[in-house]
Amino acid sequence: MEEKQPRYIKIAHDICSKILSGEFQEGDTLKGRSMLASMYNVSPETIRKAIIILADEGILEVKQGVGIFIDSVVKAKAYADKWEAKSSVDEQYEKVNKLIEQANNINTELQKALSDMKDNFKYQTNEAITFQKAVIPENCWLNNKTIGEVYFWNYTEATIVAVVDQNNNIMPSPGPDYPLRSGDTLILVSKDDLSFERVVAFLTHGIK
C-alpha cells in the first residue's frame, strides 16, 4: 500500500518519523520549503502539501514570515499511530480482496470441472446427471475418517466426485483413503433424491 501513496504523504510521514527519532526536536525550526524540496528532490508545492498535513495535525506550527516550527512530539506520535493503524487496515482489506478473487477463481474452476464431469457421465450413461452439495457438520462423527472406512457409498448410494475443503482446495475424484473432515463440502452424484436424503442423515446421525 505504501507505494500507492502520494509523494507528499510519504514526506509528511518521513518528517514525522524524524521528529519521533529525535532528529528534529520539539521547538526546533524546520528547514525552509526550498531546502526541504531540495532534500526530498520534489517541488516546493509538494513540500507545502506535506507541511499542511502536519500543521493540521498540530505537529508543526507555521508562522508566516518567521518559519516552520516543531510544535508537538506527542501529536507526532498520535499521527504515526493513526497512519500505522490505517496501513494495517488497508493491508487487510487488500488481502481480503485477493482471497475473494481467489475464491471466485476456484469456484469458476470447480463449476467448469463439474460441468465437464457431468457431460462425461451423461455421455457414458445417456442419463441426465444432477450434482448436489452437502457440508460435513462441525463435530461430525466421521471427522478424520476415510471414505472407505465409513463405507460411504454402501450406506448412501451416493458417489463423492469432489471435495472442497474450508480453504477452498479442491480434491477431484477422492479415493477410499481420502479423509473426510468437518466443514468439507462434498460434491455428490446421487442415485435419486432418496440417496441425497440418506447422505444428510448419514452425516448427521451416522449408521443406524
pLDDT tens per residue, range 63-112: 887 889 998 999 999 988 888 777 666 677 777 777 777 777 776 776 66
> pLDDT value at position 35?
87
> pLDDT value at position 14?
92
Q: How confident is the model at residue 33 (pLDDT cuts 50, 70, 90)?
A: confident
> pLDDT value at position 74?
92
| Distance, first Cα to last Cα, the chain | 56
Q: How far, in Å, are 10, 31, 99, 107 from residue 104 at the CA level?
A: 34, 52, 9, 5
Indicate if the pLDDT at residue 204 is higher than 50: yes
List of residues 6+ apart from 102 with CB closer than 8 A: 168
Query: pTM, whole model, 2 decimals?
Result: 0.43
Q: Give all strands (DSSP E) within 91-168, no chain letters.
A: 131-135, 158-164
> pLDDT value at position 1?
44
- Which region, left, alpha or beta, applies to residue 25 given φ > 0 means left and ψ of -120 to 50 means alpha? beta
Could you state, in order of their start, the residue ranges of all structural domains in the chain? 2-93, 130-205
Please, is 97 exposed, middle or buried when counting C-beta atoms within 10 Å of its C-beta (0-12, 13-18, 19+)? exposed
**Between residues 174 and 98, the one the model is more confident about:** 174
Q: Is the dihedral of CA 164, 165, 166, 168 positive or negative?
A: negative
Cβ count within 10 A of residue 189? 19
Q: How confident is the model at residue 123 (pLDDT cuts 50, 70, 90)?
A: very low
Indicate if the pLDDT at residue 3 is higher than 70: no
CATH 2.60.40.60 fits 2-93, yes or no: no
Q: Which three cell numbers stand for residue 103?
A: 475464491
Which CATH number does 130-205 carry?
3.30.70.1450
Q: How confident is the model at residue 34 (pLDDT cuts 50, 70, 90)?
A: confident
